[in-house]
Structure formats: structure tokens, C-alpha cells
Chains A and B, each alone.
Chain A
Amino acid sequence: MVSGIADRTGAVLRAALDSDIRSAGVEAACRQGLAVLGESMRVAMVGQIKMGKSTLVNALLGGHLVATGATELTAKVTELRWAEEHSPVVHYRDDRPPEPWPAQRLDEVTTKGADLALLDSISHVVIGYPNELLHAFALVDSPGLDGRLSDEDVKRLLGEGMSSADVEDLQSTMVADAESAIARADAAVFVVDRASIGEQVRTLAAAFGGVGGHRLAGPLNTIAIINRPEMYWPRHGPDPLVTGRTIIDDERKRYPEIDEIFFDAVPVCGLLAEGAQTLTGDHLETLTDLAHLPRETLEEALDDFNFFCFEEFDDVPVPPERRSEIAGRIHTYGVHLACELIRDGVDDPVKLRQPLLDASGLPQLRTLLIDHFGNRAGIIKADRVIGDVHAAIKQVRIKAGPNEPGVERVAGLLQGLETQEAPGFRELRILRALYNGELDRLTPDEREEILRVTGEQGGSVGARVGWIPGRREGAPGAGGPGQPDDVVVALREVIELAANRAAYWRSKHSSGATDPAVAETARQVGRLYDEVRRHARQALDHLELKDCSR
């Protein structure tokens, strides 16, 4: 179902390109659209400088792939795609062909410590990496949006013989690269500071509402990460994720825009997430020494991060350098968690990994990314491509009015496409209505159901109706999953569920919901359930047919 929308959109664009459009802009938009549909989806990490974007990328992919750290900042746009093995490739601005690049020398081309002439000649870096997540989409790490080099960096660059004009150039190139990378992206993860989330959201919405002609500021294709909630530990609560969510909920009350722009906003302890995956035996040794201290002594030492890294404590025999190393890697919060685990008998850095990761909020973020972006890749891309072509058409109309027959033909094609009574487009229309706030009269449960039936939790018929195996009384468990009997029963349940829900939404439609948007959506949702039922029925028929023939 999901791939359908991309295919149909592609077919319309090809049809448009076959006709005589007579507008270079619209033609380019169609071509670009076809290219986008053919590629895997791109998700960009967007945010101001030093927000920890690269740390999050590394954490998500479970390795130190892109440079992080106080002074080592991403200077080049880095795209991470799925590959069998770790394989960076450098792309140049000039005609030179892309060049494979040794992974251990990556810092030379992605951070600002690099040779300037080299850095200047590179347009972007693509890193192939064998991580599951990259099956769902490519991740794009970009330089900070504010393009502000820290003073330290500027001094260093000037000290290395760079002229101030060159420094300016570097800054503006960084910003331009970041902006075009974001413009090319299909979806975005905005990394925002935990202070004044609402204000940042407003600013971002103003800045990215119209990037590249399509909206990169709407719940369909954006989520937000509130970074470094661990800074609130321990004074503001024992679990930074809980503290972070409390803050987000409070901001939502004051800034309803947050829900208009982001599908969700989640707290993630980026440092802990990256550090947890790179713990070594040495670290475990430090942590074990710390865990052997009286709990109270340790907690008191952890209370002041700065002191923990540098102070001599009479009652803490672990030297400051070792404390500083471990706190810099997993934060004092991570040290606290790890020591609790060690006291409970964990004695292996690998076994520390999962509980620390869970506490960082990273697995939850991963799930959210796969659910919301991965499962909707087709819809998101089609929405973006259609939006881009519309924007190009609008440009022509502003100049010449609706008088260009070639362009108007494309507009007609697009309109036909969008109003298709086909899955995918139906979902897109429903989601647009939902995210535009037209469905606020529905109950939260109903809105949740809309997300589910449009594929939020996966595109399978079961996922769309919220079918849970064995939920029903008397459901046979003997066959085990995958056994034909079991599947038949499951499909019957799905069909029944879909029929019930379709009836519910149809009655909502005909019971004269006064709001036309709600009424129309109710009809569409009913139709969507019909589709699900039909697919399930076809599958069942197929199985039963096979059964008969056996």
C-alpha cells in the first residue's frame, strides 16, 4: 500500500515530463521529484551549533562515525547510508569523481581542524555503514544552522595562517551547505535545547516553513529531540527522561505550536547514549572502584559535575583524571546508573550497555524514527514532491497567471493525483487534515486511531487495525505463529475489526458531524478500513483457496 503512492506519483511526473510543459522551473521540479522518489528517504539532523547533533547520530548508529566534541565540529554535511561495510566516500565540488576515503582519516574532511584547501574542495561526505536504521532512511548530519564558529575556533584558524576573510567564507559556506542539505531532506529531526523549547519551535517554524518550497515544519515529517536532559540530574528528579517529558508537557501547554509542528518531542540523553555503546574494560574498572565506595559518598561526589571531574576528595580514592574521563563519556548520571548496576552484580561492559541505553531514551527515539519516518517514507516523499511541483507552478502563475497551458496541464495532473480515491493519497489527505488542526474535535483516541490506520505502527493490515495476536478469547495458540490456521484466524479477526471500525466511522460521517472536515475525514477513514478489509479478505481467500486445493 505504502509503495503505491510513490509509484503513482512517479507515473504522473513521468506523464508530465512526456508532455510539453514549456516551463523550465516546473520541468526541473518534476525531474527533481522523480529523482527524490527514486532515492531512499533522507532524514536531516537540524539545530543550532553545539546542540549535540553529531553525538546523536553516533548514538543512533552505535559507533563513532562523525566527529563530536567541544571544538571538533561538523564542518561538512555528512550523509549516512546503508552499506555492507563502513565505507566513507568524499564528494567534491568540481568534476572530480567521488573518492573512497579511509574511515580513520575522516576527521580530516569533516571537522574544522582540517586542511582548508581540502575542506574547501569538498561538497559533502557520504558514509556507508551497516546499521539497520539506515535501511529505513539515510541520516544527514549538518553543520550548525547559526554558522557561528566559536571564538576559540576562529583564533585557531587565524593562528594557522587563515585570513579573516577566509574564516568568513568558511562560516558562510557552512551555513549554505547546511541549508541546502536541509532543503534536500525529506524529513527532519530538530535538536532543540531544553530551555525555552516553545520559543525555539517558533523560530524554527518561521525559518523552515518554506525551505525548498516544501514544508519541513509539520508533524508529517518532523520530530524534535530535547537534548541533554541529564543536566537536570540529580537535583530535579531521579530520572532525566521523566524530568524532560514534564518540561515538554509544560511547554506544550503554553505553545500549542509544538504539536502543530512536530509529530512528537522526546528527551534523549545523547552523551549517555553514545558513551554507553563505547564502554571499555578500563571504564568498567573505574566504575567498579567507584561502586565500591559507600553509596552516600559517591552520590555526594556526583552532585557537582565539575568537582567530580577535577576535585581531590579525601574519601574518593579514584583519581580525578579517571573520574573526568568516565563522566565525560556517560555523564555523572550514567556513572550513578552504572554503579547501581555493578552493585547489583553486573561485571561486563557489554552487559552495562543495554540498561544504560534504555535510560538514555535512545531506543525509544529509534522506534519513533522507524515508526514515523520509516513506515511512512512513501507518503512523506510524495507529499514533498507534490509540494515542490506545486511551488514551481505557483511561481509561474505569479508571473504569468494561469495562462500557460503546459503548466496548467501539470497542475491538472497533480490535482487528479491528489484526489485519487487510492490508498496512500487518502492517507495523505487524512494526515494533512489531522496535522492542520482540522480534526481537533475528534477525541484523542480517535486521533490515535487515525494515525494507526494510516500506517503509523506499520503498513500491514494487522498493524492498521491494531490487531494483537491471541487477544481474543478462545484464539487458538496451538498452531504457533505463521501456521496457516493461525493466519486464517488472524485474518478473520482483522476483517471483523476492520468492518466494525469502518461502520463506526461511517456512522460518524452520516450522523451529520457538523464540521465538514471531520465529516469528510470520517468518510475517508471508513474507506481506509474498507481497503484493509478487502486486502485481508483477498489474503484469506487466497489461503482458503490454497487450503481447498490441498
Chain B
Amino acid sequence: MNDFDGLRAEVLDLIDDAVGATAADLGPDGVDRLLAARERLVEGRFYIVVCGEYKRGKSSLINALLETRDLCPVDVHVATSVVTSIGYADEEKVVVYLGDERTPKEIPRARISDYVTVAGNEGTDKDARWLEIGLPAEQLSQGLYLIDTPGIGGLNVEHTVVTTTFMRNADAVIFVGDATSALKETEVDFLENVVKSPDSLIVVVNKIDAVREPEAVVVESREVVASALGCPAEQLRVLGVSSQRKLDGAERGNAKLLERSGFAELEDALWSEIGGRSGAIQLGMAIGELDWAIGGVREQAQVELLPLREHTDQQRQQLEDELRDAEARRKELHGPKAPWRTAVNDEVKNGLRSAMAVFKKALEGVSHDLEELRAQDLVEPDSQDRKELELVSAIQVAVTDATNGVLESGAKALAQAADRTQLDLAGVDGLDAAVERYSPGDRQGAQASRRRPAETLVETYKAVLLASSAGRSAGRIVGGVIGASIGMLGGDPFAGWDNGSQVGARTFGFVFGVVQLRKKRREDRERRGKDRLSDLQKRIGPELKRAKSVTEASLEAIAAQLQGGIVAEVESRISAEDERVRTMRVRVNEAASLTVPEITDRIDVLEGRLERLDGLARRTAALRARLTLPSAPNSSGANDAGRERGLVAAIGSTDFDDD
């Protein structure tokens, strides 16, 4: 079991225990929140994009990871031309999305190569866009999705665009190189221009079985990649592996082959990458939710204990009043005119407006470039290809930026709502640990992350948004754009999805449209000779218009969806808090009519519960501390098990004393 898996299993256990211990006091809304957190954690999907040059052994690497020889076609004379996703399923199922058809076609595994390879797919009427494989493989059972991409290449627009789209939203990227030949310029360019950052990147040097000194190739690859990405070489994960040894070892039960395949190290790196980033966020979310539930119920018990121990009617009354006030404040928060609603509304609206403006400007830039190109009349096909790549990427970047802008405004809105409601929305505390773990600037430990600049705060809330139910309702943005890209490639099989994914779908659809046009034009050119650039203008022009209108419509829709999701999230939190405070007040009230023996019993019950809750809180703190590892091993001081929550702190200022 890897690091992340172990942590996740413990968090799931803890949630189960916490539900058992708190259900009676938390109320249905609060329990729902815990169960939702559990479900998110169980359902967590991690997208691992596998990319690299043709014939470097991407497909054989995936086969070796899954210990199945014939899943991805690996014949030397075929090359994958279609994106393939591989995820867990109870029974093996392979479906292919063809052309514009909406329903996928189920095919047997043996026919995969007829659809995904260049030889099988091109020049036929199959036109496969996307292949989805469900596999009952243990390695995938924890939510891993492997995305096999077509080979990259310096000037291969189609494949580079496809791969780029997927990479932007990956939880980890595996770049596959080959020990039998040095990294080529096209590969270095790809790393420099597409991968860009060493974050979440794992460089794999495959085929170490085929050379005399694989270590030298690993060392050299590390240096070359480091200089391409402009980062220190030590910061990179570069691993030599042998798919051949892994597959043979698994088949023959040969431990030496398995050990010398390097795959154990690869899997470790993969999970620690996931555990360190996306996984950490998911775990952090769940821990935040646990904090809230355990801390909240603990507070209830503490508050209830106060009048039971002190007996003074006046003090009890004072406490009840405090609680009633608190309840009233919550009521205000529910109201249609609550300031946080306006804040969320304004924030999202402004965000949408500026995102639209940025998008419009970017498209104008592209139009301008097109005009300029046209003025140059006949352009060499080569430079035309290059120009086209630039234009397509520019549009793609514009759409992604705009979508991101809207998403960012959602994060700001969530931060605003947290500020106005004084609620810890979506467990920011738990996320601190996650943020510490993966944000390089904050590696100094808890101290630094306590005083985060506004920018980091927005990042944190964006992470919250991505992982929270608000984010999910606004379009499953965790992996959403990947899902959306999947959708478009497969002729929109997820048409039922809501708008978040559709933005991605349309973006990708546009990119895909241009790519198709390009392909057609190349064929035309082959048939009737040279081609004029004005054709490009003629064809891209309308596409540009279409992209503009669908993207704008989608941005509006996603903003609306996002706003609704945030409001629902805040309301759910307010309701859960309401319930909790109401229960407290009722219990405090009831305490007045208890007999002395009943009071003794009740104190026993509550103290026993507090003990259990303290135990749960300690476990939560310990998990949070482990989540923060390895970057900040001793940062748990600030998150001590019994840390008081706002309400108790407020009540503490009355005459009651906690102990």
C-alpha cells in the first residue's frame, strides 16, 4: 500500500468512526456533509497523462503498469493516434467513440489496434476519436485513470494540441523517453514549451534492458530535462524502467526481473506525486470536514456541560441567550438580502465580465494575425503550418484563460462568503496541510502558511472549489476539463453533463475542428497541388465566430452554475451550523429540568463522549500532521487536538469557565 492509499484508508476509517460518534448530535445536514466528504474521497479520480515521442514505449509502459501484455498495441510499425483512457471497472469493457456518433461502440480487446492505431484509423471510415477501457485491475482500483496520448512531435499540430489539452488538467504527467536513444530536439522542445514545469512531472527512461549503461542515460536525461524546464536537476524525478522486465517478471513470477524493472519505484513516485498534490487536497478537504464535525460536536458537549456543572439559573439563562443570539445571526445569514450573497453575486459577475473582456481581446488578436497573414498573400506551406499551430494554440489558451478567470472569481467569491459569514467554509484548516505539502513557496511549514498572501488564499479557495461539492455541481471540474475533452473527442458522450464540462468540450471541439480542417486541407493539397493561405482565412474565420459565441455562452453558463454552487455550499454549511447550535440550545434548555441523578448521568455521558471525541480529534490531528509530511514534519503544534472553535471562544468570555 502506498503513502496516499494508506492515508486515505485511515481517513475513511476515521470518517466512519466520526459518523458513528457524532450522528446523534450533528443533525442530518451535518451527517450528510461528512458522508459527502467520504464519497468524494472514495470516488476520487486521478488522471495520469502518459506522453512522449512516438515509439518510445508509452503503450508498453502502460501495459507493464497494468501487467497485461496486449492491452495497448505495441507493434513497432503502428503508432497510437487516438487518446485512450483506462480506468477501473468490475468487468473488462472497451468502448470506442466514432466520428460524430453520440453512443460509443463496444469492441473486444483484440480489436483495439484496429481503432487506435494510425494504420487502423487513418484512411478508413472508422474515424475513432476516443477509446475508453474499463479494466478490473487492482492497480486502478484506487481511482487511477491512465490517459495514453498520441505521440508528440515538433510540428505535429494535431497530436501536440490533443496532448496539451489533456496535460493541463492532469494530476501527474509521465513523460516517456527511451534509453536506446538520446532525447531529441523535438522532445526537449515539448518539455520546454508544453510541460513547462517540473511539478507533477515524472520522467521515465524506458527500455533500460536494451543498453549497456542505462544509469548514464538517466543522468543525462535528468540534466537535459532540468535545463529545458529551467529547474535544479535534483528537483526532478527521473526513473529508469524496463517494461519488458516488468511484464516478463509478472508473467513468470520472477522476483528478480520485477525488482530490476524499476516499476516499484515508478509506482511509488506516482502515488507520492498524487499524494503530494491532488490527493493531498482531497485528503485535506476530508480532514477539514472531520475537524468541523468533531470539533462542533465536542463544542456542543462542552457547552452542555457548563450549566450541568454550575447549576446557576442566571448563568444558564445567559448561555441560552448567547446561543439564541448565535442562532439569530445564522437566520440573518439565511436571508435573501444577506451581505454574503451580494458579495458572491458581485464577485462572480465581475469575474465573468473581465474574463469575457480578456477572451474578446485575445480573439481580436487572432483575427488581426489572420488579416496580416492574408495581406502576405501566398505563404509557404511550412510556415503556414507553423502559423496555424500558433493561432490554434492562441485560441485554446484564450478559452482556458477565460474559464480559469471565471473559476478564480468563484474562488474569490467563496473567500468573500467565508469572510462575511465567519464560517470556515469547506474546511480551510484541513487544506492548510495540503497547501503546505505541495505549494513550493510555502514549504517553510505552518508558520508561513498561517500568513498566506491573498494570492495563495485564492489558490486555496480554488482548490476548495475544485474539490468541494460546489465545484462538482458547477461541472465536475476536478478532471472536468479532461472529462470534457473526452466528451468532445468521443462526439460528446457526456452530453448530459452540466456546463462546466461543456466549456472544456467546446474548447476542445473547436481545437479539434481546426485540426480536422487542417488534415482535410493537407489531403486536398496532395490532390490538387498547392494551397493558398486565404483558404485558411476562409476556414478559420467562421470557426472563430463559432468559438466566440459558444465560449461566451458557456462562460455565462458556468458562471451561473458556479454562483449557484457556491450559494448552495454556503447555505448547506449555514444549515448544518444552525442545526448544531439549535441542538445546543435545546440541550442547555433541557438541562434546567433535569433531576440531580439525571444530571450526574448526563455529565458521565458527556464526559465519556468528550473523551471519545478527543480521541477522534487526536487521530485527525495526527493524520493532518502526516499529510503535511514530509515537507513540514513538526507543524502540528498549531492544530492541537482540543483547539477551540469560535463559538466556545466567544462563550468563554462569559463567566463560565471551561474547566
Contacts and interface: CB of A to CB of B under 8 A. Distances in A.
B212 A236 contact: no
A203 B186 contact: yes
B154 A199 contact: yes
B54 A196 contact: yes
Nearest to B55: A195
B216 interface: yes
Contact of B76 (A146, A196, A199, A243): A243
Contact of B526 (A148, A231, A256): A256
Interface string B63-91: 00000000000011111000000000000
A117 to B, nearest CB: 27
Interface residues of B, number: 43
A460 interface: no
Given A199-B155, A235-B244, A49 B182 contact: yes
A48 B216 contact: no
Contacts of A310: 212
Contacts of A292: none
A152 interface: yes
A202 interface: yes
Contacts of A151: 219-220, 223-224
Most A-side CB within 10 Å, residue of B55, B75, B184 = B184
B553 interface: no
A247 B207 CA distance: 18
Contacts of B583: none
A353 B520 CA distance: 50
B211 A306 contact: yes
Contact of B186 (A49, A194, A196, A254): A196
B431 to A, nearest CB: 40
Interface string B52-65: 01111000000000
Contact of B122 (A202, A254, A306): A254
B25 interface: no
Contacts of A199: 53-54, 153-156, 186
A70 B538 CA distance: 52
Contacts of A152: 216, 219-220
Contact of B155 (A146, A203, A307): A203
A138 B520 CA distance: 44
A430 B55 CA distance: 37
A249 interface: yes
A202 B154 contact: yes
B151 interface: yes
Interface in B163-204: 178, 180-182, 184-186
A246 interface: yes
A208 interface: no
B377 to A, nearest CB: 17
Interface in A29-67: 48-50
Given A231-B210, A305-B210, A253 B182 contact: no
B13 interface: no
Most B-side CB within 10 Å, residue of A228, A237, A247, A328 = A247
B529 to A, nearest CB: 8
Given A304-B209, A304-B245, A195 B53 contact: yes
Contacts of B245: 304
B54 A48 contact: no
Contact of B244 (A148, A209, A228, A304): A304
B251 interface: no
A324 interface: yes
Nearest to B156: A199
What interface size band does chain A fall in?
Answer: 35 or more
B405 interface: no
A200 B184 contact: yes
B214 interface: yes
A232 B214 CA distance: 17
B180 A48 contact: no
Contacts of A203: 154-155, 185-186
Nearest to B52: A195
A150 B217 CA distance: 10
B223 A250 contact: no
B557 interface: no
B77 A249 contact: yes
Interface string B128-161: 0000000000000000000000010111100000
Given A48-B184, A235-B244, A150 B55 contact: no
Interface string A183-217: 00000000001111011101101100100000000
B335 interface: no
Contact of B178 (A195, A309, A328): A195
Contact of A305 (B78, B184, B209): B209
Contacts of B216: 70, 152
B253 to A, nearest CB: 16
B118 interface: yes
A309 B184 contact: no
A236 B220 contact: no
Interface in A232-279: 232, 235-237, 243, 246-247, 249-250, 253-254, 256
Interface in B205-245: 207-214, 216, 219-220, 223-224, 242, 244-245
Given A151-B223, A152-B220, A195-B56, A206 B208 contact: no
A53 B547 CA distance: 48
B382 interface: yes
Contacts of A237: 76
B394 interface: no
A138 B382 CA distance: 32
B123 interface: yes
B184 A306 contact: no
A70 B76 contact: no
B53 A236 contact: no
B23 interface: no
Most A-side CB within 10 Å, residue of B75, B178, B212 = B212
A246 B76 CA distance: 8
A240 to B, nearest CB: 10
B119 interface: yes
Contacts of A206: 155, 382
Contacts of B210: 231, 305-306
Contact of A250 (B119, B154, B211): B119
Given A228-B180, A232-B76, A306 B55 contact: no
Contacts of A70: 213, 216
B107 to A, nearest CB: 22
Most B-side CB within 10 Å, residue of A70, A196, A237, A324 = A196
Nearest to B380: A209
A466 to B, nearest CB: 30
Interface string B414-431: 000000000000000000
A253 B209 contact: no
A3 to B, nearest CB: 36
Most B-side CB within 10 Å, residue of A152, A209, A305, A310 = A305
Contacts of B153: 196, 198-199, 202
A215 to B, nearest CB: 13
Contacts of A328: 212
Contacts of B154: 199, 202-203
A278 B118 CA distance: 41
A250 B118 contact: yes
B541 to A, nearest CB: 27
Contacts of A48: 182, 184-185
A236 to B, nearest CB: 4
A200 B186 contact: yes
Given A195-B181, A199-B154, A228-B181, 7 more contacts: A70-B213, A146-B185, A151-B224, A235-B244, A236-B75, A250-B79, A250-B118
9 contacts: A48-B185, A194-B181, A195-B184, A202-B155, A236-B75, A253-B118, A253-B123, A254-B122, A306-B211
Interface of A: 48-50, 70, 146, 148, 150-152, 193-196, 198-200, 202-203, 205-206, 209, 228, 231-232, 235-237, 243, 246-247, 249-250, 253-254, 256, 304-307, 309-310, 324, 327-328
A-B pairs with lowest CB-CB distance, top 4:
A199-B153, A195-B55, A151-B223, A196-B54
